[in-house]
Chains A and B, each alone.
Chain A
Amino acid sequence: MQTFQYSKADSVEKALASASAGKFIAGGTTLVDLMKLDVEQPKALVDINPLPLTKIEALPNGGLRIGALVRNSDLAWNDDVKRSYAVLSQAILSGASPQLRNMATTGGNLLQRTRCAYFREPGAGTPGGYSCNKRTPGTGCAAMDGHNRTHAVLGVSEHCIATHPSDMCVAMAALEAVIHVEGPKGKRTVQFADFHRLPGDTPHIENALEPGELVTHVDLPKLPEGAKSVYLKLRDRASYEFALASAAVVAKVEGGHVRFVRVAMGGVGTKPWRAHEAEAALTGKAVDAANFRHAAEAALAGAKPRTENAFKVELAKRCLVRTLKLATA
């Protein structure tokens, strides 16, 4: 691990003032892991744990405001979240381990990085190391024709097929969360769909944050009255394992028809995958297995599998069908 200057900030102003030096650290569950692998080599760390961004509060419009430093476990256990945004609680609890969930924060989870083994390999993207366009643009992608069982089938480019690993983000994508950011140029908001970037030909740029910007909180809009939400995660182990395919569904059913639906998928996309095609195929339709299957086909129609991850296409479809059944039951 490369050494760094360590400092603590006890206010957002102080954090932003020190930001140009290096990176913010909160839970550290992604950052320390990657620093040990020399994937991340910040010259300075600004410890933002003391910042007063730890609340979950009801918004006047009926939504919920989540501070960036709310720990994943606290967010999942929150009564308002469990009642009104069950998919978010389920998604968080399906991820990582209890210890990691106690450390990880809302803001940090948004920024977690891919588990691609080539990306994580010390020396990737350097001469003699594995090719990795995300580490060093232009060096190639070792996963394309290498071991890519856990890699993405949606949102891929010829430069990168790395899967986005977060469960929380899939739920937040379906909930259409709004991310509040503060930086040297002031405050702004980013719609969830715009926060994470497709790899395209710039896989090293993963999100919409400008240098020095800090996520301060995430707002969840109020859902339609009577909407139900569910998260289903499929993976090799029953726990402590990333998704091979997952689905977050928010649905409101009236008279046996889908009145409102939001669908997002995990384990299959290079970013948390909002499945617009599935939503279009479901809205107004009768709640039945055939319509669910049509929607799943639409969601995965653009899938581009590689040598080892073609199974994900069918797995993701069945995952979505099962989740739709659970959400409309």
Chain B
Amino acid sequence: MADSPSFRFRRLRSKSPEQTKDELAPDQHTLDLEPLTPGKPEQDGNGRGFSRRSFLSGLGAAGLVATAAPLAAAAPAVAPAADGPAEGASGTTLVLRVNGKDYTLRGLDPRATLLDTLRERIHLTGTKKGCDHGQCGACTVHVNGRRVNSCLSFAAMHEGDEITTIEGLGQPGNLHAMQAAFVEHDGYQCGYCTSGQIMSAVALLKEPIGPTDEDVKHAMAGNICRCGAYANIVAAVKQVRSQA
């Protein structure tokens, strides 16, 4: 049974309707709350599943390599997760509330930033790591409704906070007005800064910002765009401001 194609590829079949998490984007259906470990058999209970990201992370794992030989030969073995020592052995347990859901994180390294935790543990990869030093704004999320750089805060500091990421702002087919405006005004090229731009733009709607273009630019100064989509970003922000 272990060798049959149906066993190997059962993880790639979509989940049953009851298991689909409607609030998440299509590739965010897994809620992998434990650190990824290569070669470990699938564990139930936490809805641990299989995603593009976990597939690529685990490409070096023996089980997967054996069944996908041509692919493994072509692709480099990628070490799973983390820029620090392996998690899971020690560390704290923490509950983070993200986009209205509670996530229990076990074995969290105290050094884990909010950014890395959102991306690597909760697999909400819409928030991006640009500079990791609070200098670019790609990591912008909302904490209790205010925009912050998630790279400069430790996850442990946010127990009890309401955290909102781009995934919580809107979803395909249910876009936030700011997301729609960015699409309409072509406010992005490569898209890497875009989540941060949108999170910043939405937050500024509730800040005491003046009415002029200069005011909008100053209010968006914490989000850098290497592709130079600034003019269109400002246009998108202005459109939503005028609708508010």
Known contacts A28-B157, A102-B146, A103-B152: does B221 contact A33 (CB below 8 Å)?
no
Q: Cβ of B120 < 8 Å from any Cβ of A? A: no
Hey, which chain A residues are within 8 Å of B84, CB to CB?
1
Contact with A along B118-134 (1 / 0, CB 8 A): 00000000000000111
Mask, A1-45, CB within 8 Å of B = 1, is 101111010000000000000000100110011011000000001
Asked whether A98 and B207 contact (CB < 8 A) given A3-B110, A6-B110, A32-B113, the answer is: yes
Q: Are B154 and A99 in contact (CB under 8 A)?
A: no
CB distance from B92 to the nearest CB of A (A): 7
Q: Which of the residues B92, B151, B157 comes within 8 Å of A25, measured between beta carbons? A: B157
**CB of A97 within 8 Å of the partner chain:** yes
Contact check, A99 vs B137: say whether CB atoms are below 8 A apart: yes
Of the candidates B109, B147, B156, B208, the one whose C-beta lies within 8 Å of that of A99 is B147
A98 engages B153 (CB within 8 Å): no
| Cα distance A171–B219 in the bound complex, in angstroms | 21
Q: Is A240 among interface residues, defined by CB-CB distance under 8 A? A: yes
Chain A residue contacts of B218, Cβ below 8 A: 93, 239
Q: Select one of B111, B140, B153 contacting A4, CB under 8 A.
A: B111
Question: B127-167: which residues lie under 8 A (CB-CB) from chain A?
Answer: 132-135, 137, 140, 146-149, 151-154, 156-157
Q: Does A227 count as interface, using CB distance less than 8 angstroms?
A: no
Known contacts A1-B111, A47-B157; A98 and B147 CB within 8 A of each other = yes
Q: At the interface, yes or no: B222 with Cβ under 8 Å from chain A?
A: yes
Contacting A6 at CB < 8 Å: which of B156, B200, B203?
B156
Contact flag A6-B154 (CB < 8 Å), given A29-B134, A98-B221, A99-B137: yes
- Say yes or no: is B235 at the interface (Cβ < 8 Å to chain A): no
Beta-carbon contact of B204 and A28 below 8 Å = no
Of the candidates B152, B219, B220, the one whose C-beta lies within 8 Å of that of A32 is: B152
Whether A100 is near chain B, meaning CB under 8 Å from some CB there, is: yes
Contact of B152 among A28, A47, A77, A93 (CB under 8 A): A28
Chain A contacts of B200 at CB under 8 A?
98-99
Q: How far is the CA of A47 from the CA of B84 in the complex (A)?
A: 22
Is A49 an interface residue when CB atoms closer than 8 A count as contact?
Answer: yes
In the complex the two chains form, is B111's CB within 8 Å of A99's CB?
Answer: no
Q: How far apart are A106's CB and chain B's nearest CB, in angstroms?
A: 16
A98 CA to B206 CA in the complex, in Å?
A: 12
Report chain A residues within 8 Å CB of B110.
3-6, 45
Residues of B near A4 (CB, < 8 A) are: 110-111
Cβ-defined contact, B154 with A240, below 8 A: no
Beyond the given pairs A97-B221, A98-B207, 11 more chain A to chain B contacts, judged by CB atoms under 8 angstroms and listed by A's residue number, are: A4-B111, A6-B110, A32-B154, A96-B222, A98-B219, A99-B140, A99-B148, A100-B152, A100-B222, A239-B218, A239-B221
Cross-chain pairs A/B with CB under 8 angstroms, 6 sampled: A6-B92, A47-B156, A98-B221, A100-B134, A102-B147, A240-B224
**Chain A residues engaging chain B, CB cutoff 8 angstroms:** 1, 3-6, 8, 25, 28-29, 32-33, 35-36, 45, 47, 49, 73, 77, 93, 96-100, 102-103, 239-240
Those 6 A-B pairs whose CB atoms lie nearest each other, nearest first: A97-B222, A239-B221, A6-B110, A32-B152, A99-B222, A99-B149
